[in-house]
Amino acid sequence: MTLNCKGTLINLATPKVMGILNITPDSFYDGGNLTNERLILAQAEKMLEEGATFLDIGGYSSRPGAEDISETEELNRVIPAIEVILKQFPKALISIDTFRSEVAKKSVEAGAVMVNDISAGKLDSNMMKTVAQLKIPYVMMHMKGNPKTMVSLSEYKNVTKEILFYFSEKLAEARTLGMNDVIVDPGFGFAKTRHHNFELLNHLELFKSLEVPLLVGISRKSMIYKTLQTTPEEALNGTTALHSIALLKGASILRVHDVKEAIECVTLLENFKN
């Protein structure tokens, strides 16, 4: 499988790593860390040097119960970050983490090459149409409700089957719109209990039936640190353990806070498979 990122072809035969750059004051692990250009550039440089293929920039916190912010505020956070990174690292492949079509459009105009949407178009009816017109890869994630309401919506008869059905419908919609490169993300932690998250991970190989790349975002999440009765800050070892399982079960992209450790995981697993 390959992704066409504005003319740069990315081969997913070897899984890739996406580094998280949260330009937010309140994200669950790194909120408030990247408050100026110098800090943003330093983190971008570190992640690129450690081997990240993509940098995922987000200006809207999607942690459970997160406060809503205006589109203007989101744009004011992400556009300068995209511009300053590309000025320093012109070959960087930037993904914009947003559910708003206007933020996606303006970010791509500023140089982003991928859209990562936690709502798969459900929170903005123009999103999928906009991405189809932009002709760039689109990550569609499964979530119920929105970040403020999702905790109360974690009820399923069979979480894996329901999410597979959800994606089969969404992928059909994407194909109707003429979208070429679509990536699915089961949405670990979004309207799902810890039990649901582990059930999903256990059956992750079933997502291969969708015949599109699979992105996994479990880095330092509560399914790890609550299970281990620790904190996000102490959840790196647990993250690496679950990354290994995700890769064995078919993950194409790992979305992570810690690029070096994720790259090591990919390298070891590729050698293990060979």
Distance CA(61)–CA(81), nearest Å, equals 16
Give the domain extent around 47. 2-273
**Where is 11: in which H helix or E strand?**
strand 8-11
Domain count along the chain: 1
CATH assignment at residue 130: 3.20.20.20
Predicted pLDDT at 64: 64
Confidence of residue 66 (pLDDT cuts 50, 70, 90): low
Token reading at 58: 């987000």
pLDDT digits (tens, 9 = 90+) for 125-153: 999 999 999 999 999 999 877 767 666 66
Distance CA(105)–CA(103), nearest Å, equals 6
Token reading at 154: 């974690």
For 211, which DSSP code? -
Catalytic residue, from 105, 144, 192, 255: name it.
Answer: 255
Is 221 tagged catalytic? Answer: yes
Distance CA(55)–CA(60), nearest Å, equals 15
Is 63 tagged catalytic? Answer: no
What is the average per-residue pLDDT within 155-178? 94
- Taken in order 67, 253, 140, 23, the sign of the CA dihedral is positive
Predicted pLDDT at 36: 79
Predicted pLDDT at 61: 76
Catalytic residue, from 221, 226, 249, 273: name it.
Answer: 221
